[in-house]
Amino acid sequence: MFSKECKLHLEEADMSRWQHFKHACKISWRLEKAAWAVFIHAFAPRYFKTNATDTCVAIAKENKRI
């Protein structure tokens, strides 16, 4: 069902398929909320000044990318 690349990624992430699915969905939800914050910020710059950046940095740190 999964390609060798997918299986390798899951091994590197040290997650099962369902753990990875849940983790990816959580990140997706956080990024969706950040996207809405940026949209609101476009119209009212006083709101959500650093929300998207803060969210992206936090996600990167949590996933050991920074």
> What is the reported pTM?
0.82
For residue 44, give the DSSP letter. Answer: -
Q: What pLDDT does residue 10 have?
A: 92
Q: What pLDDT does residue 2 have?
A: 77
Closest to 27 in 3D by CA, of 49, 60, 64: 60
- SS3 at position 11: helix
CB 59 within 8 A of CB 30: yes
- pLDDT > 70? residue 1: no
Q: What is the pLDDT of residues 3-62, one digit of tens each?
A: 999 999 999 989 999 999 999 999 999 999 999 999 999 999 999 999 999 999 999 999
- pLDDT > 90? residue 64: no
Domain boundaries, position 41: 24-66
59 part of a folded domain:
yes
Question: Cα(59)–Cα(30) distance, rounded to whole angstroms?
Answer: 9
How many domains would you assign to the chain?
A: 1
36 part of a folded domain:
yes
